[in-house]
Structures are given as structure tokens and as C-alpha cells.
A = this chain, B = another copy of it.
Amino acid sequence: MMSNRSGETGDRLAEAGRHTVLAATEPLVLDCGVALSSVPVAYETYGTLNEEKSNAILICHALSGDQFVASTHPLTGKPGWWANTVGPGKVFDTDRFFIICSNVLGGCMGTLGPSSPHPKSGRPWGLDFPVITIGDMVRLQALLLDHLEIDTLFAVAGGSMGGMQALDWAARYPERVFTALPIAAAAHHSAQNIAFHEVGRQAIMADPRWRDGAYYDGEDGAAQGPDAGLAVARMAAHITYMSEDGLTDRFGRALQDRDALTFGFDADFQIESYLRHQGLSFIDRFDANSYLYITRAMDYFDLAAQAGGRLADAFRGTRTRFCVVSFSSDWLYPTAESRAIVHALNAAGAPVSFVELETNLGHDSFLLDVPEMNRILTGFLSSAGRARGIE
């Protein structure tokens, strides 16, 4: 069911979390036209599904995220990426809600992706893997819900690409979504968004170890992939996740473990050392081809185009309640993008709460412990929970 870059990685992943093979009877037909059968999906759950099956919340992860939203990551040993918001008494209160988080289609943490074995050859798909979309990710999540016998989500929530999935869910399956919480998201990728992703992809593809995506069969069984290119891609992306003010506040021109400039190309500045660390730690847990496919899915995302050109039409007649959150210092998916979503929802007559939160932490604000965000989300979920009759 699972495949990974190395045997060791596979072993550690297999020990963690839940996995299932979906769509054994009916294939998953992708936007590109390819039909996939027997799709492995890796997911985690927290809390208990109530008898009415009315308290399920799907949390969708971002580009570099995974299903370990509130569990220790099996490869890094670090806490879950949203451990501060998911748990007993937290924003996504596991005493009240049944939380589901699955690795996205195209990912590298157990769900089918380019590093998974091709059913015919048994060797990793590599670039033979079909190009996927946010909609394809959502369709697969819907199959997982079918498998779990959950008709309706109380909420679908996520930040960044997770927010795109939340929007796509609400547009694609309005009758299955009671509330949607897109955070620090956008209804399409802008030219600048595409540009940064293209730089990352070119960095990976420029690495000779990428070998047109066929880098999995290292002699020692371990990864022989384009680590250097993937690290550069991650470094470039990471800058876009922070704000200029935030970088200045945190690093400024402070030097790294030295008193003076060295007149060399070592990491003289803390910001350099920090970025290099971000690049190096990413390659230990992420597959370069997955990075290509997932960034491509994000670039392709255009909810208005899916609806025929007008974003409001994506939500026509919806009864889903929306909570849209943006951050003042997020220049990757700036508040204007969230406001465009809100205007479309208003035009569609959908109930929507919207707040722009003041932070200087940039796009990554949604991952950090922002008390005001926690208050907003908690209040929205409480109110909606009462309307849904969840204790």
C-alpha cells in the first residue's frame, strides 16, 4: 500500500497512523482524465465520531504538510503541524469533534503519489504519475469519507493549500459541508504565486540527481534524489511564508555565531543559517517529485474558472457557513484574495464571517500560535456547533 524513498522511511511510516485502500470498485477519475484504481490513502483521526455522525471535521494540510496534524511526525519526531489547535479543549476540540486529516493525493506520506509503486511495474511512478489538481485531492478525500461512512462534514478547515481544498470542498460538495474555514488562502494562484513555484520546480529539475524524476533506485536503497535542488526550492518558498517585517524583527542583520563579517560565503548572517537549515531539514521528510506535483496542483487551482469564470457561481445556492481568515502580513495570499472570496460568497448569498488578523508573521501565521485566530475559530465553531446540535 505504501512506498517511500527508502525502506527505513517506509518502516517508520507503516508504524504510524492509519492507512486504507480506497476505490477498489469504482476508479477515481482525475481532472486530467486518468482513472486510478485502488488508491492508498494515509490518514489520522482524533476524537470520537458521535452517533449522529454530525461532528466530523476534515482538516486539510498545506503543501509541505501531512496527515500528522496533531501527532508526532514519524520521521522528524516533531509535534504535529497544528498540534496547538487540535486536541482536548483546543480550537478543534477533540472532546467534541471527530477530526480527520489525510495525506493529500500526490503526497509522500502514505497516500498515492509519484513515489508510490506503479501497480504494473511495482516501481515508483516518478513522472508517469498523472498531474493532479486540488479537485482531485478533494475527490479522494470524499472517497475516504465514504469509506468512513460519513455523509456530512461539520467542518472542513485548512490554511494555505488546505484552505484551497476547503473552498473546493464547499464548491464541489455543498451538501456535505456544514461549515468551511479557509485560512490564509486564495481562490486561485496569482502570477506571482505561480512564479515562485516555477522557481522551485526549476531548482529541482536543474539538479542532475533528479534524472527526470526517476531517482528512487539508489544503489544503497536510500534516497539518491535531488536533495540540493529540493533544498533550494524550499529556501525560496520559505521566504514567501514570512513577512519582511517579521524577518527583520527576528533576524535583521544579526550575525550567526560570529562577531564580524568573514568576507566569505559561509552563513555570516542568521537569516542565511536559518534558511539553509529549512532547506536541509525539508529533504529528510519530503519527496522532490511530490513537491513538483503538489505545487502544480496549486498553480492549476482556479475556482472561478471551474465555475465558468465567475467565482460567485462556484458557491451558488450554497448553505454552507464560511469563516474566512487572512493575515495582514501575508503577501503570498494577501487579504485581498480572501476579500475576493468573501465578495463572491456575499454575491452568492452565503453566510460568511471574515476577519483579517494583524500579525507580522506572514503567511505562516496560520501555523503559529496566534491567540486571536484561536479565539475567532473557537467562537465560529461553537456557534456553528450549536446550530448543528453538537453538544
Contact = CB atoms under 8 A, between A and B. Distances in A.
Nearest to A206: B228
Given A131-B263, A191-B253, A299 B232 contact: no
A183 interface: no
Interface in A267-326: 267-269, 271-272, 275-276, 279, 292, 296, 299-300, 302, 305
Contacts of A300: 261
A388 B331 CA distance: 45
Interface stretch (A76-84, A192-200, A364-372): A192-200
A235 B265 contact: no
Interface residues of A, number: 57
Contacts of A267: 198
Interface of A: 31-32, 127, 130-131, 188-192, 194-196, 198-199, 201-203, 205-208, 228-229, 231-232, 235-236, 239, 242, 244, 247-248, 250-253, 261, 263-265, 267-269, 271-272, 275-276, 279, 292, 296, 299-300, 302, 305, 331, 334
The 3 closest A-B pairs by CB, nearest first: A206-B228, A32-B263, A191-B247
14 contacts: A191-B244, A191-B250, A191-B252, A194-B269, A195-B247, A198-B267, A198-B272, A202-B275, A203-B206, A208-B208, A232-B232, A244-B334, A265-B292, A268-B299
